[in-house]
Amino acid sequence: MEIKIFKDVMIKNNAIGEDNRKLFNEQKVLVLNLTSSPGAGKTTLIESTLKLISNKVKAAVIEGDLYTSRDAERLEVFKIPLVQINTEGGCHLDARQIHHSIKELSLNELDILFIENVGNLVCPAEFDLGEHKRVLLYSVTEGDDKPAKYLNMFQAADLILINKIELAELCRIDLEYVEKEIHRINPTAEILRITALDERTLEDWIQWLNKNVQMRERPDESRN
């Protein structure tokens, strides 16, 4: 019975996710679902990214948190559209929440919508929000065992950003080993090494964003 209930929930969620994606495609806005464990650096990455792209593309952010609006408050300086979702203890965002949130945005005026999911390496892997790409931020401070321990999350990612690489030696992390572990689990994932606080390391990330913005008009942009 529990499995049936879970299936029912996922069927409803995925149907709403497809509706969201159809709308995003119609409005030609690239939507990214940004996931990670707590403290991996999602908001810092968004801050650094907005500094580099704000003069070139129009962006908005949906912030998902259990409680507080502190992350959204950090982004107010950029004067972009922001929507806060508080899950009140829920461990992930779902497609219904995104469907309601985008009613507060003028999608036709946007190039990129960042959805900062709740910090969690378990539940967000199961819920399609209607995004085009799922981006996983993975900090070296979490250790090198996370790809194998949180298999579903790493398998669901289109792009994996290995963050805080300046701390790799201090944390005794072999980045080559980490990348091999990721590709063993998800052979098709793109992997980039970054330090979210150092904009000089974000060149490949910005190029990846620009490429996907340019591709947003293609009809096959939806996730399979």
**Measured between alpha carbons, how far is 83 from 201 in angstroms, rounded to an integer?**
28
CB 95 within 8 A of CB 20: yes
Helix spans in 151-220 (H): 151-156, 175-185, 203-214
What is the model's pLDDT at position 218?
52
Interstrand relation of 30-36 and 112-116 (parallel, antiparallel or unpaired): parallel
**Token output for 5:** 């209930």
For the chain, give the mean pLDDT.
Answer: 93
User: pLDDT per residue over 86-104, tens digit each?
Assistant: 998 889 999 999 999 999 9
CB 128 within 8 A of CB 97: no
What is the model's pLDDT at position 166?
97
**Superfamily of domain 2-214 in the CATH hierarchy:** P-loop containing nucleotide triphosphate hydrolases (3.40.50.300)
What is the model's pLDDT at position 5?
54
What is the model's pLDDT at position 178?
97
**Token output for 83:** 């929507």
Q: What is the pTM of this model?
A: 0.92
Residue with tokens 């969201």: 20
Please name every residue paired with 114 in a beta bridge, in sequence order, or none if there are none. 32, 61
**Measured between alpha carbons, how far is 2 from 15 in angstroms, rounded to an integer?**
20
- Low-confidence residues in the chain, pLDDT < 50: 1-2, 219, 221-224
Domain extents in the chain: 2-214
